[in-house]
Amino acid sequence: MVMDTIQVRLSHGIVEKVDDLVQTGMYANRSDVIRDAVRRLVLDKLIGIIPNTGDSVKEVKEIRKKLSKEKFNVDKIKKIAD
């Protein structure tokens, strides 16, 4: 899968926290930390618009899978839960 590259400027304190997460072994590298943080932010914004079909854990896992593989723009975020 081809991913887009972006540049993000973070404060030194945030970079240290990101590096701490990598050093604990929770994440393989800084990019994995940032990707997971962005996915969590997007999921947080989807709360309330995700239909409740009874198995929310399964729904969230499926959405996370889509978010990690799919190229999308802000307008498409609402369509992910469909």
**Do residues 67 and 42 make contact, with C-beta atoms less than 8 angstroms apart?**
yes
Domain that holds residue 16: 12-80
H-type helices in 1-82, by residue range? 12-23, 30-46, 56-69, 77-80
**Digit-coded pLDDT (tens) for 4-31:** 899 999 999 999 999 999 999 989 999 9
Q: How many domains does the chain have?
A: 1
Considering the domain boundaries, does residue 18 fall inside one?
A: yes
pLDDT tens per residue across span 32-82: 999 999 988 888 777 766 566 666 677 777 777 777 766 656 565 555 555
Residue 52 placed within a domain: yes
Distance CA 66, CA 59 (A): 11
CA distance 24 to 74: 33
The pLDDT value given to residue 32? 92
Give the per-residue pLDDT at 21: 93
Residue 38 lies in a domain: yes
Q: pTM score > 0.75 for this model?
A: no
The answer to whether residue 70 is domain-embedded is yes
